[in-house]
Each structure stands twice: as C-alpha cells, then as structure tokens.
Amino acid sequence: MKRNLLSSLIVITNILFTVFLTSCGESYAPITLVSSDGKTHITNNDTIYIDAFTEGMDFNIRGGDGKYVLENQNRDIVRYEYNGEKVSLIPLKIGYGSLRITDYEKNESRFIINVKNQARIFHVNNISTEVLGGDLTQNETKIIEENIIESAIMKVSGSIEFTYTVEEMNGGNVTIYQQEGGNAVTGIFSQNESFDSESGNKILSFEISLAGYNKIKMDLIEKTENNYTYKVLRHDVTETYQSQYPKLEKATIEYILADTTDN
C-alpha cells in the first residue's frame, strides 16, 4: 500500500514539475515583428515583402522573453541591423531569404523575406478621347473617335503594370492586359520625369516597346475635378490619324486609372 502511494506521489510530482516547466516556456507571447508605425504585425512563417533598390524596412520585435537572438539564413539576399530594440531589413538582391528569431526560453519565430522588384499596377476605370480640328466634319470627328477607342491598347477593365528592374527606377518590364481576363502583352519601358509648367504637377513619361507594336509614348499625370484627384495615362495618337485626316490638329486618348499597386 505504501509502495503504491509512494509511486502515485512520484508520478503526480513529475506531472506537476512538467506542467511547471511547460508553463514557464509558454508564459510569453509569440515572437512577432511590428512595423514602426504599428500598423503591420508579422507572425511566425509570415512573408515580408521588400522592394529592391530601397532602404528596406524597420520593425520592432515583440513577444518572447525580450532577449533575442537573430539568425540571417540568406545573407546574400538581405542583411539586418539590430540595435536591441529595432531590426532593420536591408535588401541586397532579388530572391527569398529568412530571418530566425529565438530567445533564451526557446521561443522561436521564422520570417520569410521576399525581395522583389518594385511594381506599379493600374486598372482602367474609364476611357476618354479628344479630337481637335476646326475644319473636321462632325462625321469625321466621330469616325476618328470610334477608331481610337477600337484600336486602344487597353479597354475598360484592362490593366498595365510597370516593374522596375534597374536601381535608377527609370526602366524595366511592362505587362498590359487589354481587358480583365484577357491575354497579356509584355515588353519593356523607359521612364522620364518632368513637371507641368502650369500646374507644377509631376509628369512621368513612358516609352513602351511591345512585340508587334510601334513604340508607344504615354504620359502619367494627375487631374483634379470637384476636389477629386485621379491619375490619367495619356496617349497622343495624332500622327496615327493625321495622314488620313489632314485637317486633324490633335487626337488623344486618356485612360482614367485606379492605382491598385497595394491591393
């Protein structure tokens, strides 16, 4: 009887001791990363997306016992700087890396890092045309407008994506979907920056080369109407129609855009 009682006490003691150790290890919140503005919380096995050719991103480490050990498992992709409070992730080249953070209580979190080329994505919400020529007939003006819409490289619901592949952020790859669900047309682009002499607004001028097309020149500008500011991609197509309609003075198509880069 005494032997059974002693055995039971030993088992209970071992269980309590195990629970005590487990509770000590689990009494801390999981190790997470929080962006400097507090809006983004990164948890174990989450992916952090960092644009190449930038200064990187800063995070505060939260959770665990507060005494952290950091291990960069892909030093050719990203490097980190840690001052005891903040960790900075600095991109080195395109690719995937990972950062492992542990503490002295054996808490652990691993964060995947995706260093990618920066991209800007725009969807076409609407299209407008402008045809000027004082000596054009109404019928000629209508025909030109219809032809511009018909031959437009993008329709309503289409999209265009600029992916920057150079450190100067002035060129890269372009992908165009004429309409949602359609096939993609790909090419390259170069970009120049200027300013509108009247409004002072920035103008981004793109020269786009696509297979099967002549070079396309477009200007990305901002317009404001009724206190609402939106982006427009303007394409001057005057030369395309002027030989057929010598009285044509100017013809443009404007793609009214929604910036969906972060969506």
- Reading the chain (263 residues) residue by residue, the pLDDT tens digits are 444 444 444 444 443 344 344 334 457 899 999 999 999 999 999 999 999 999 999 999 999 999 999 999 999 999 999 999 899 999 999 999 999 999 999 999 999 999 999 999 999 999 999 999 999 999 999 999 999 999 999 999 999 999 999 999 999 999 999 999 999 999 999 999 999 887 788 999 999 999 888 899 999 999 988 888 999 999 999 999 999 999 999 999 999 999 998 75
pLDDT at 26: 59
How far apart (Å, rounded) are the C-alpha atoms in residues 90 and 78?
A: 6
pLDDT in tens, 16-36: 344 344 334 457 899 999 999
Per DSSP bridges, beta strands 216-225 and 228-236 are antiparallel
The boundaries of every CATH 2.60.40.1080 domain in the chain are 28-116
Per DSSP bridges, beta strands 95-103 and 68-72 are antiparallel
Please say whether the beta carbons of 129 and 254 come within 8 A.
yes
pLDDT in tens, 94-137: 999 999 999 999 999 999 999 999 999 999 999 999 999 999 99
Q: Tell me the fold of 28-116.
A: Immunoglobulin-like (2.60.40)
Per DSSP bridges, beta strands 250-259 and 228-236 are antiparallel
Tokens encoding 88:
């900075």
pLDDT at 9: 42
**Type of residue found at 38:** G
Please say whether the beta carbons of 92 and 234 come within 8 A.
no
Interacting residues of 206 by C-beta distance below 8 A, sequence separation 6+: 162, 174, 189, 190, 191, 216, 217, 218, 219, 220
Nearest to 257 by CA among 134, 177, 158: 158
Q: Where are the alpha helices (DSSP H) in 119-176?
A: 138-150
pLDDT at 14: 47
pLDDT at 225: 87
